Structure 1
Amino acid sequence: MKNLKPFLIVFLLLGTFFSFAQGEKKLDKIIKRDYQIIDCKIAKISDKQVEYSLPGETLLIVLDVSQIARIDFASGRSQTFDVSASNTSQDNSGQPVTAATMKTNTIAVLPVPYVNSDSQEGSEDMAKFAQNDLYNKLLDKSANIFPLTVQDLRTTNSLLHKAGINHNNIDETPIEDLEKILGVDNIVAAKVSYTIGSGTTATTYSSSNTKSNDNNKKKTNDVSTTTANTQAYYYYTVYFDMYKNTTKVYSQTRKPFLNVKDSWMDSITYLLKRSPIYVKK
């Protein structure tokens, strides 16, 4: 037993050493564009994707290179991904979206969220209608907004659809991303919020008939009818923003003077004519 004791001590020391060495094994590090750091083991790198596994796992995870700023390998070597040269952005699901070719002095009209402020429900049909209304107002006043050109509405909506952006999430997308996706340096973004109230008015109609009997006595019959009318009132708040090269250059909020169904359109016209892109002719 005494002869085995030295060997047992050496065995335990070696076991401790190897365990310590295994625990201190260096890992690769992925530094993402959002500054998140992932400790992992890189398995494969291509022009578009990086495949890696987490410590203690064999499952491969795929990450798009557009999301990566740098990789520090366990060997000490680093690889930097040139974000500034990237021609991609990310849509709302995190997938890369190819940026459109930039067209200078071009303005795009975004879908206009049309939201009931009580229920927080939006109308897709009204969002498209409001977007189309604002688009047509800009086209009609093209001479007043020169040298700006209005991007075709089909082009705008097609690019937004490919990026997974609609009237429900347009407010969540940064303007710089929208300018890259749409390929424009100017953007007009509006929003219509509303509540609906009602009021009742009563109208009374009266009539009378006079009759004479045999004794020349006159008798009058009065008849009256009351009709109740219920009127709906729309209380709008219109938000109107303009951006140039990602900078907000105009921001206004307006409530229409009249509380009728389409009065928001008057506010859009009012704000557009007072925006910095509009020049009176």
Structure 2
Amino acid sequence: MRITKIFTIIMLLVSVAGFAQGGSKKLDKIIKRDYQIIECTISKMSDKTVEYSLPGETLQISLDVSQIARIDFSSGRSQTFDVAAASSPVSSSVSSNPVIANAPMKTNTIAVLPVPYVNSDNLQSSEDMSKFAQNDLYNKLLDKSANILPLTVQDLRTTNSLLHKAGIDHNNIDDTPIEDLERILGVDNIVAAKVSFTMSSSSTATTYNSGNAKISDNDKKLKTNDISTTTANTQMYYYYTVYFDMYKNSTKIYSQTRKPFLNLKDSWIDSVSYLLKRSPIYVKR
């Protein structure tokens, strides 16, 4: 009888241990690139997909490996997925991503890029001034369309729309190769400018005195009634450097740097006009 009880207790302990192990079964962990963690059981892997099922389910779910950063298997082994390889369809090839696919090439067409407008003291870039400068250069080319024949200017909305789809703006335009920009925009000519500046101020004070003087009848002394007014004036000075480049079929055909003679707020506009008129695309007629 005693042996039977001991055997029963042992079997009970084995059953409890087995249940505990089954209830706490270790799961695989998929860590996605958006930092979501999926606890699951992986059943199949290939170069393109990973198939898994969630706890308590038999449904097989397929996940593209481009969305996976790492897998921690229940065995303790980890597998990391190459970020560069997964992102290459987006960044390494313009033509492989439909968002930034090649635009139809328009020969003898020039596009005006966004113009970075940067304060050199704090490296802050102004989006509003960048758009203003781009519009100013675009309008100058339109006004002188007869002087740049046979070139035509691509509509600014078209240029900015294509750049926006490709994730390019005034902040990263300088980091994008010209050959990629030409394919994205579908043009064989590009004008790229940049405005860099520093500021200083100068303050002056002007004092103006007014009043009158009279002699008192009683004591014959001179009495005055003076009024003094001081006016402060602060003048801002802008020190610009304008960088101006032109490209044709990915080759730089013109590159100049100019500092305006005057230190006024809009002096950079004069430098843009000066450089444009001396560029190789401009012909006096």
TMscore range, shorter length: 0.5 to 0.7
Number of corresponding residues: 215
Residue in 1 that maps onto 2:259: 255
User: Which of 211, 216, 220 is the aligned partner of 1:213?
Assistant: 216
Residue in 2 that maps onto 1:88: 95
C-alpha separation between the residues in 2 aligned to 1:64 and 1:228? Answer: 58
Task: Specify whether residues 124 and 201 from structure 1 end up closer, same or farther in structure 2 by C-alpha distance, changes over 3 A only.
Answer: same
Residue 213 of structure 2 aligns to which amino acid in structure 1? Answer: T
User: Which of 168, 184, 190 is the aligned partner of 1:165?
Assistant: 168
Q: Aligned with 1:240: secondary structure?
A: strand
Residue in 2 that maps onto 1:97: 100
Residue 159 of structure 1 aligns to which amino acid in structure 2? Answer: L
Deviation per CA, 1:15-48: give whole Å up to 9, x if none: xxxxxxxxxxxxxxxxxxxxxxxxxx9846xxxx
TM-score with structure 1 length normalisation?
0.68
Deviates more, 1:105-114 or 1:220-229: 220-229
* Structure 1: gaps (5+ residues): 1-40, 45-49, 68-85
C-alpha separation between the residues in 2 aligned to 1:188 and 1:124? Answer: 18
Q: Aligned with 1:88: secondary structure?
A: coil
Residue 276 of structure 2 corresponds to residue 272 of structure 1: yes
User: Which of 85, 106, 113 is the aligned partner of 1:110?
Assistant: 113
Residue in 2 that maps onto 1:128: 131
Shift of 1:51: 7.7
Residue 259 of structure 2 aligns to which amino acid in structure 1? Answer: K
Shift of 1:136: 0.5
Task: Specify whether residues 43 and 227 from structure 1 end up closer, same or farther in structure 2 by C-alpha distance, changes over 3 A only.
Answer: closer
Shift of 1:87: 7.6
C-alpha separation between the residues in 2 aligned to 1:225 and 1:51? Answer: 76
Question: Contact 1:113–1:167 (CA<8 Å) still a contact in 2?
Answer: yes
Seq. identity, %: 73
Residue 109 of structure 1 aligns to which amino acid in structure 2? Answer: V
C-alpha separation between the residues in 2 aligned to 1:159 and 1:89? Answer: 16
- Residues 129-148 of structure 1 mapped to structure 2, 5 A cutoff: 129-148=132-151
Question: Contact 2:94–2:184 (CA<8 Å) still a contact in 1?
Answer: no
Question: Contact 1:109–1:135 (CA<8 Å) still a contact in 2?
Answer: yes
Question: Contact 1:99–1:181 (CA<8 Å) still a contact in 2?
Answer: yes
- Residues 189-268 of structure 1 mapped to structure 2, 5 A cutoff: 189-214=192-217, 218-268=222-272
- Residues 167-182 of structure 1 mapped to structure 2, 5 A cutoff: 167-182=170-185
Shift of 1:200: 0.3
Deviates more, 1:217-226 or 1:100-109: 217-226
Shift of 1:229: 1.1
Deviation per CA, 1:98-143: give whole Å up to 9, x if none: 1011111100000000111111111111111110110001000101
Question: Contact 2:99–2:165 (CA<8 Å) still a contact in 1?
Answer: no
C-alpha separation between the residues in 1 aligned to 2:210 and 2:113? Answer: 58
Output the aligned Cα RMSD.
3.2
Question: Contact 1:89–1:99 (CA<8 Å) still a contact in 2?
Answer: no
User: Which of 134, 157, 169 is the aligned partner of 1:154?
Assistant: 157
Shift of 1:96: 6.9
Question: Contact 1:89–1:177 (CA<8 Å) still a contact in 2?
Answer: no
C-alpha separation between the residues in 1 aligned to 2:191 and 2:106? Answer: 15
* Structure 2: gaps (5+ residues): 1-44, 49-63, 67-76
Question: Contact 1:66–1:96 (CA<8 Å) still a contact in 2?
Answer: no
Question: Contact 1:115–1:123 (CA<8 Å) still a contact in 2?
Answer: yes
